[in-house]
Amino acid sequence: MKDNLNLNLNVNVKVNATGEVAEEEDIKAFGFWIYLMTDLIIFAVLFATFCVLRNSTFGGPSGRELFHMPSVLAETLALLISSFTCSLAMIEVHQQRKIPAIAWFAVTFILGAIFLSLEVSEFFELIDKGNNWQRSAFLSSFFTLVATHGLHIFIGLLWMICAMFRIWFRPFSAFHISNLFRLALFWHFLDLVWIFIFTVVYGMGHLL
């Protein structure tokens, strides 16, 4: 288990007869890192288009007029705290304690759901006032970037439901823990992307 990318597979985990399981799960984590980097490039394209089209409001409202900072701040806090609780859940997973692990994942899930519902309600508010994605190129790029992140969060939430089921019904195995490890990685990754969205979309939109 040389350079195992912080997978921290617990020594108690049963390794199969050939002793190859730990290494195999390690390889999965490595591939998942590469996948995250490709996903990051998709986000990079969306950020670039947003920055190009930021001022192409076509006579419509700009970000400064539209963004409601308190609710955005609430979203951000929910997501940042969820990243922390996700880490707590992973600590419990490595200790192989089922109930606390599920509890922390449940807290993470609830925070993620709060984030998502705040975001969706923000979208509905914009659409209700006629500022939908057809209004201007700026709003097209705003909705696309933020909703793509939201879609990732939604997938993360689905994954988390599966993860809680699995913790409850299945024993901790290397296969199982590495799956949870990748979920945590995915969740932190989305947190990171959100920090950039907060800065580039909302922060710059509000100030500049």
Judged by CB under 8 A, the residue of 2, 38, 70, 207 near other proteins is 38
Look at residue 202 and give its three-state secondary structure: helix
Asked if 96 is part of the footprint of other proteins (rule: CB under 8 A), the reply reads no
Give yes or no for a contact between 141 and 67, defined as CB atoms under 8 angstroms apart.
no
CA proximity to 144, closest of 70, 42, 60: 42
Which residue from 7, 13, 22, 46 is in contact with other proteins, where contact means CB under 8 A?
Answer: 46
Site for other proteins in 144-183 (CB under 8 A): 144, 158, 162, 166, 173, 175-176, 179
Choose between 53 and 78: whose C-beta lies nearer to other proteins: 53
* Runs of H (alpha helix) within the chain: 21-53, 63-66, 69-94, 98-128, 137-169, 174-197, 204-207
Choosing from 1, 5, 10, 20, the residue that interacts with other proteins (CB under 8 A) is 20
Q: What tokens were used for 41? A: 């490039």
Residues 6+ apart with CB under 8 A from 78: 111, 112, 114, 115, 118
Q: Which of 104, 105, 115, 143 binds other proteins (CB under 8 A)?
A: 143
Window contacting other proteins (CB under 8 A); options: 46-54, 65-73, 74-82, 90-98:
46-54
The crossing angle, in degrees rounded to 10, of helices 69-94 and 174-197 is 160
Q: Which of 12, 41, 70, 128 binds other proteins (CB under 8 A)?
A: 41
Query: Which positions touch other proteins (CB under 8 A)?
Result: 16-18, 20, 27-28, 30-31, 34-35, 37-39, 41-42, 45-46, 48-49, 52-53, 56-58, 133-138, 140-141, 143-144, 158, 162, 166, 173, 175-176, 179
